[in-house]
Structure formats: C-alpha cells, structure tokens
C-alpha cells in the first residue's frame, strides 16, 4: 500500500469543535473570549522540526501506520507545520482557581488541539500540541515551550501510564529548531533555550475549569451544552443527558478523581499544581509541570517553587485538594444540576471512595490480603511515623520490605537484624538513633505478626508487593540527567528512560543504576529538587 494511502486511512471526527459554539473572531490576539468553548487557531510554523522520540504504545493505540511514524511527514505534522486531512485545530476556553483563588479566563495558552482521531477500534483520541504557539488565551506569554519541560512531560506521561495511574499520554517529542527565552526561576535571568513540542493524547482534554468559566460568566446555555457534550462524548455509558444522568455523571467524576489520587499516593507522585484548570473531567492526571516523586518520604514536600511558602499542593495534602476542587466544580454545575443535595452526595462519595481506596492501597503495598481496621489503622499510622525518623527513600523502602523474611521463629531477632535488609533505603543511616531503631524494629515485628495472621508465604508476599510498588520511578534527577544530555544534542538518555519506565515493576538488572537513591549532587540542584511553573 502506498504511504499516502495509509495516511489517508487516519480518520478524524471532531465532535468538540462540531458540537460546541466557536469564537467568531479568527485573530490569535490574546483577549477575553465570551460564549464560546474554543477558538479556531492553527499552530505556528517552526523552522527546523526534528523528532527526538515517540511512544510506540501510543502510536499503536492510535492506529498510526508504521511507515508514517518514520517519515518526515510525521514530525512535520506533530510540530504543527502541516495538517492531515480532517484536522480542525483549536484552543479551548476555560478558567480556574489557581492556588485557591479565582483567576478568571485562562484557556489553552500554549496548547492547540489538532483534532479527534478515531482509531481502528472506534475510540476517539484528541491530539494536542503543547508549545505550538500563540492563541487567544496566551495572555502575556508566547505560547511556546522549551526542551527541558517538554522532556519532563513526555517521559512522565508515559511513566505514569505504565505505573497504572490514570493519565493523559504523549505520542511524540520534537525540537522546533528555534530558541525560546525563559526565566527558569523568575529570578530576572532570562536565557535562550531549545524550543520543543510534545504531542499529548487523551480521550478529552476537558477540565474542571471548562465548566467554571461559563458558570462564572452566568452563561448557563453554553454551560449546559458543554455538560451535555461531555456526557454524550465521554460518559455515554450513563445514557442520554437528563437530570438523573447529570447527577450520575458528577458522582462518577468524583469517584474517578479519588481513584487517581489514591494511585498518586501509591507511587509517591506529587502533581505540584492542582489548580482546577489542571484537573481532568475524566479523572486523568493532566499537565505535567513542576511535578515530582518523593525521594525521601515527606508528606509536606512540594516540588513547586511557587508553592514553597504555603505548600498548598504538598504530597500529603493532595487528597484534600482533590475534594476542594470538586466542590468548586459542583458550585459551577449548580445552574444546570440544581439538586444541591445530590452534588453534596457526590462530594461525600469522593471522600468515601478515597478513604476506602487509600486503605486498600496501603495494605496492598504491604502485601496484606485485605484491610482490617482493628489492626491496620494502627499499623499504617505507625508506618507513617517510622518513615520520617530519618530520610527514608519511599520507593526503595517498599521494595526492600518485600524481601524481608517474615517466617515464624523470628522472635529472637535483634533490632539491628530487623533493620539490616532496609538500610539501603536510608539516606543517612548513621543518624538512626537507638530509639529510632527500636521503634522501627517494633513496627517490623507488628508487621510480621500481621502478615503471619494472613498466612502469606514470603515469596507470595514479595510477588504481590512488587506488583504495586515500583522499582523505578521518574525521579527528578533522572529527568535532569536526560535534559542535560539533550542540551548537548544527546537524546539517548531520553530513549533509555522511556524504555526503562515501560516496565517499572520489573527488576531490569541491566538498568540497576536507575534504582538507587537520589545522589547527593541532586539534593538541592535546580531541576532536581524543586521546579518552577516556567515552561
């Protein structure tokens, strides 16, 4: 089959653009956009596009022809230099609460949706370019993105998927051949960096903020149209939009959001910017900005320099912020879903779903059969304490805990003998006091008794634990190593990490260098410890 014929088989069905009101002004000039769900806008052409990497799994999911993936047309398309037949590019209008305050209109300031691809299975997938240039929602920015943040987004999207966390995906990472000026830490030191574009993929990029903007403007007609479209396009299993279905829809959004955040907590992920405009209506992780994984377990850690003082979006506060954001969404839906009690029931359902899901998740991390409140509430509470006595690497701790022998007849084991298999998880083991060792050992003895009550053999427990506790996560320093190499024109580390993160639960002995604690040089280095919202 000819190449052009295979590309012609790529089909688009642009439901969002076809079913919702468009901005009548064709200008890219940043402005307030009213009574419109989106503005049609084409990507800005780039000088010298170059493909850095692509996800073979996403390409297969989309049904893209193999010859297309290796062609010049692929990188030209997914940097915005040319459009495939059927693409209808646009930027969405939305608002949002940022760090707890209403920010008004925000919108796709540097993201442009190319269209909704329909794959061979009949699934709709929206293709979105991040860093594709100016849109009416760019405000005072340029709509562009740089290589360092694009590498982080590309790798993290795929890493999260393979960790079993609901997420948007990333198809490709490309250079633009142009320089983009950024002030990385807003310190008054702007500098040129390599420009880049990521093609993001999701069934929909609709956010909480898409609904909020119309509610804030008392545009109830467009709000209802958006709700109806969202249900019809992405929640069709609930049935045709109606008063009853509206409530069921909100309840499902609440459940999905809770389940997503449970998984964040499972793998030690910190989103960093849980503004309502960064919350997907599908309950998928979206917008990978200043995110991070916990190295040492610290519920108060945030990777975002903007949040350094108040730590609103710190690791341990993410469940509460998820509920707060859902309250803001519920408030926005009141003009259409007038049953306030039913909306409150959805908020309550979020709490129940998260609470039950978190308990089940935590005991699964410990290899227990099921959560038993009588014993496990105290076991989990004490675990949080022992993880903070000294800097304890969360990822390594659970993998080492899985290897701990917990057979009968271990009552004579000393504190040091209990701790010995875990020492590799501590950043400064010499700081473990005798009292800390005693408390950790006591917790391990309680844990052993709880495992023995389940009657689980060591090998079975290890297998179960290693299926939910990853050996490899995308630590900030790892992304920075890839960024440093890419700045020098070496993209092999990006490729290596993409391959590594495809199987995060496997041992992968040839990749052991990525399974170690954060190195000392990365403790406070920019890009490894904390990041800004700068692109």
Catalytic residues: 277
Residue with tokens 């900005």: 289
Helical H runs in 218-339? 220-234, 243-267, 318-333
Tell how strand 95-98 and strand 101-105 pair up. Answer: antiparallel
- Please, which contacts does 221-229 make with residues 24 or more away whose CB atoms are closer than 8 Å? 222/20, 222/21, 222/35, 222/36, 222/37, 223/332, 223/333, 223/335, 223/336, 224/335, 224/336, 225/19, 225/20, 225/21, 225/37, 226/20, 226/37, 227/333, 227/336, 229/15, 229/16, 229/19, 229/20
Cβ partners under 8 Å of residue 390, min gap 6: 426, 427, 428, 429, 431, 432, 436
β-sheet bridge partners, residue 38: 22, 92
CA dist., res. 509 & res. 437, Å (int): 30
Residue with tokens 């800390």: 436
- Phi/psi of residue 6, nearest 5 degrees: -70, -40
CA dist., res. 242 & res. 234, Å (int): 15
Integer-rounded Cα Rg, in Å, for the chain is: 24
Phi-psi region of 527 (alpha: psi -120 to 50; beta: other; left: phi over 0): left
DSSP 301-329: ---BGGGTTT-TT-GGGHHHHHHHHHHHH
CA distances from 390 to 183, 422, 430 (A): 35, 13, 9
Residue with tokens 């052009």: 4
CA dist., res. 351 & res. 191, Å (int): 45
Helix axes 458-466, 340-365, angle to 10 degrees: 130
How far the first Cα of the chain sits from its last, in Å, is 41
């Amino acid at each position: 089959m000819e190449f052009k014929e295979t590309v012609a088989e790529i089909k688009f069905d642009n439901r969002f653009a076809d079913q919702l009101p468009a901005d009548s002004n064709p200008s890219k000039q940043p402005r307030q956009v009213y009574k419109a769900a989106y503005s049609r806008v084409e990507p800005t052409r780039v000088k010298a596009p170059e493909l850095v990497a692509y996800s073979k799994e996403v390409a297969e999911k989309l049904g893209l022809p193999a010859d297309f993936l290796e062609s010049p047309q692929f990188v030209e398309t997914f940097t915005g230099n040319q459009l495939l037949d059927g693409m209808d590019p646009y930027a969405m209008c939305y608002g949002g609460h940022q760090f707890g305050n209403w920010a008004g209109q925000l919108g796709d300031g540097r993201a442009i949706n190319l269209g909704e691809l329909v794959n061979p299975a009949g699934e709709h997938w929206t293709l979105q370019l991040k860093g594709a240039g100016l849109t009416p929602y760019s405000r005072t920015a340029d709509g562009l993105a740089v290589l360092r943040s694009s590498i982080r987004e590309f790798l993290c999207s795929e890493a999260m998927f393979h960790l079993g966390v609901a997420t948007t995906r990333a198809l490709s990472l490309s250079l633009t051949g142009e320089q983009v000026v950024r002030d990385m830490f807003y310190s008054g030191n702007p500098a040129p960096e390599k420009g880049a574009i990521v093609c993001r993929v999701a069934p929909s990029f609709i956010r909480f903020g898409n609904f909020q903007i119309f509610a804030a403007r008392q545009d109830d007609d467009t709000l209802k149209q958006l709700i109806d479209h969202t249900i019809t396009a992405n929640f069709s299993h609930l049935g045709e939009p109606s008063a009853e279905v509206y409530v069921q829809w909100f309840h499902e959004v609440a459940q999905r959001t809770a389940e997503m955040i449970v998984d964040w907590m499972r793998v030690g992920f910190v989103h960093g910017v849980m503004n309502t405009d960064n919350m997907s209506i599908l309950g998928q992780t979206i917008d990978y900005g200043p995110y991070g994984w916990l190295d040492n377990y610290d519920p108060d850690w945030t990777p975002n320099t903007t949040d350094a003082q108040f730590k609103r979006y710190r690791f341990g506060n993410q469940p509460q912020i998820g509920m707060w954001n859902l309250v803001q969404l519920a408030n926005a839906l009141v003009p259409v879903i007038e049953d306030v009690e039913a909306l409150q029931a959805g908020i309550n359902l979020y709490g129940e779903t998260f609470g039950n899901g978190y308990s089940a998740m935590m005991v699964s991390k410990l290899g227990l059969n099921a959560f038993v409140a009588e014993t496990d509430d105290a076991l989990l509470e004490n675990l949080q304490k022992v993880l903070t006595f000294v800097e304890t690497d969360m990822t390594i701790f659970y993998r080492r805990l899985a290897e701990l022998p917990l057979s009968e007849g271990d009552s004579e084991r000393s504190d040091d003998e209990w701790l010995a298999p875990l020492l590799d998880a501590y950043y400064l083991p010499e700081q473990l006091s005798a009292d800390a060792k005693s408390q950790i050992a006591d917790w391990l003895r309680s844990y052993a008794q709880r495992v023995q009550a389940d009657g689980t053999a060591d090998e079975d427990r290890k297998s179960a634990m290693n299926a939910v506790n990853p050996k490899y996560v995308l630590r900030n320093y790892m992304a920075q190593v890839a960024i440093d190499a890419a700045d020098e024109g070496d993209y092999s580390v990006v490729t290596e990490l993409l391959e590594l993160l495809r199987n995060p639960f496997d041992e992968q002995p040839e990749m052991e260098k990525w399974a170690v604690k954060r190195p000392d040089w990365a403790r406070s280095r920019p890009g490894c410890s904390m990041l800004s919202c700068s692109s």
